[in-house]
Amino acid sequence: MPKEKDRLQKELYLFNSGKLYHSYLNFGAHKIKIGASTGVRFMVWAPNARKVSVVGDFNHWQGRDHGMEPQGLTGAWSLFIPGLDEGDVYKYEIETPWGQKIMKADPFAFLAEKRPRTASMVYALDGYDWQDQAWCSRRATHGLRKDPLLIYEVHLGSWRRKKDGSFLSYRELAEELVPYVKEMGFSHIELMPLMEHPLDESWGYQITGYYAATSRFGMPKDLMYLIDCCHQAGLGVIMDWVPGHYCKDAHGLAGFDGTNLFGGEEHVEWGTLKFDFSKNEARSFLISNAMFWLDWYHIDGLRVDGITSMLLLNYGKKETGKRTNLQGGKEDLSAVEFLRTLNQTVFQYHPYALMIAEESTDWPMVTQPPYDGGLGFNYKWNMGWMNDTLKYVHLPFEQRANHHHQLAFSMMYAFSENFILPLSHDEVVHGKRSLLNRMPGDYWQKFAGLRLLHLFWLCHPGKKLLFMGGEFGQFIEWRDYTELDWFLLGIQAHRLHRLFVMAANQRYLQEQSLWQADHEPAGFEWIDADNCKQSVFSFMRKGRLKGETIVAIFNFLPVAHEHFRVGVPAPGIYQEIFNSDRLEFGGSGRINPSDLTSSSGLWHGKADSIQCTVPPLGGVLFKRLPA
């Protein structure tokens, strides 16, 4: 026991120093055996409390019999209660510095009661029989960044539901979601936040239980099963993670021991409270949480939400009351240091991990390592590309010539970061319309425009993310309270669009030149970026092997171009390998059925060119046949 106490004191010192990165091994509720007694050891951090007790059904929610013991000056309180077991519900009864008694859920609990109930539950995470050894072995040796990254973003509560409107469970989703995503040709699933949260309408972004997989869909080991099935099917799993703010609900982190323990500044955009990254224990809590999901749930990466609001001291604030840091700048220097430490720690233990930043400004070097002055992520959402592209495709056809640059501008900065091109949930809510309904024109033109957008997105440098429903042309905005409009697959245009997305995704995965050099200037070359009169863009995507090149042409007007001449990288015979206008996709059938032989003569700065048919509101890909 003296050795155990010495170990614990050392780790609590690290926790207080902001450097304990597996805090969940000490804090929370853990089944243990002391001597002949089996029970649960509880530990919580509440440094300003007068008294802390564990309460639950076992003591009629009265704290007088189970007061916790303070652990020196660390602010931690601990208690072993014999006889308790998995499934017992509990909270902490905390007496604040002012004598008020408040009831709080355990910040480190591995499971919580199903909403609207708010108590924590004793739960042992060990014992799940993982079957994803092949996946984990490959990612450890091969890494994940060498492979294509084509992400399907999912909100589990509204992807599909049962006939009575209730949620599918984690295990039911494993049987339905996993084969569907695999069949559609995606490489990864991104799960919107699954940490415990009280309000369905928050989509999981306002969290009370950072270490608890939400009980809406089942138990933690059921979520493990879902992730295990993804890996066995060859699908990576990314989880949304929200370290910037937490909700105000009375049982959560807000005013935890009667004080602003984890932070407390109002987040003006979301009505939540911001974490204070200058607090050592908040850093230990959050970095440990990132490690927890990677350690125990085998996830492949985290998409870190709302980084801009963390980095900027005055995010969302009006002119009055604005602050500067000690250097006179507008950056939150403690948040900068937190993010750097987060990424360094994750990569130390999980070098393969995907750490993805949702950062909406031009903050520099987000995906550069901290030793070079960067934040240390390996990917960043390209919000500029998303905004410019969606604005352009929403334009009436007759206005596109005057905004031609809008679609080409992204290539001015495409290699400044390791970008992901997001067509996410945020773009199909709050009056923005669905992707399909953004498109101008008649019914046929809307679907043609959506096919064109999808193919252009696949061919543009950067990794990819598409929100659920986009693959079959969900017509109305996303609604979190019901399932997607799967009945639309009974309509031919939607059914054919899903077949198009499946085929386009599979082509993307097959063609290394479309993803192998996504973040290298050598992987892209404009053929013609300036054809504003016809609203046609053409470029080449290149792989790392010599001659591994795709010629891509995109026509953003509803007029076909016959005998369209385009420069090509080398003389030879070119074959159409993909066309968004094929009849089986719902197109008009303006394809290039025969191979095309190049002719010499300077065109688009190239010594050789081909003549081809470019479909209306369509994209076409060509590849040179081996000599």
C-alpha span between 373 and 463 (Å, rounded): 24
Q: By three-state DSSP, how is residue 431 classified?
A: coil
Beta bridge partners of 92: 54, 104
- Residue 96 vs residues 90, 103, 257, 261, 275: alpha-carbon distances, Å: 19, 11, 6, 12, 20
In the chain, the amino acid numbered 262 is F
In sequence order, the 6+-apart residues with CB closer than 8 A to the CB of 82 are 34, 37, 38, 39
Q: How many CB atoms lie within 10 A of CB 538?
A: 21
C-alpha span between 425 and 423 (Å, rounded): 7
Contacts of 520-529 spanning 24+ positions with Cβ under 8 A: 520/415, 521/415, 523/461, 524/411, 524/414, 524/461, 526/411, 527/551, 527/566, 527/567, 527/604, 527/606, 528/566, 528/567, 528/604, 529/408, 529/411
DSSP letters for 139-192: HHHH-STTS--EEEEE-TTTS-B-TTSPBPPHHHHHHHHHHHHHHHT-SEEEEP
Which DSSP state fits 193?
P
Q: How many CB atoms lie within 10 A of CB 317?
A: 14
Which DSSP state fits 478?
P
CA angle 60/63/64 to nearest 5° reads: 110
C-alpha span between 423 and 592 (Å, rounded): 30
- E-strand ranges in 85-157 read 89-95, 101-104, 111-112, 120-121, 150-154
Just list the catalytic residues: 305, 358
For the chain, the straight-line distance linking the first and the last C-alpha, in angstroms and rounded, comes to 75
